[in-house]
Amino acid sequence: MLIKEFAELTGVSVRTLHYYDEIGLLKPAFADKSTGYRFYDENSLLRMQEILFYRELDFPLRSIAEILSSPDHDTKKSLEEQRKLLILKKERLERIISSIDDAMKGENIMSAFDNSEFEKYKAEAREKWGRTEAFEEYESKSADRGKAENDFLCGEMMEIFQRIGEIKNLPADSGEAQNLVKELQDFITGNYYTCTDEILSGLGKMYVGDERFKDNIDKAGGIGTAEFAAKAIEIYCSK
**pLDDT at residue 127 in the model:** 55
pLDDT for 59 = 74
Residue 89: the pLDDT is 72
* First-to-last C-alpha distance (Å) of the chain: 38
Could you say which residues of the chain have pLDDT below 70?
101-145
Determine which helix (DSSP H) or strand (DSSP E) holds 31, and give its type and residue range: strand 30-31
pLDDT at residue number 140 = 65
Closest by CA position to 180, among listed 202, 199, 204, 198: 204
184, 191 Cβ separation under 8 angstroms: no
Q: How confident is the model at residue 139, as a pLDDT?
A: 61
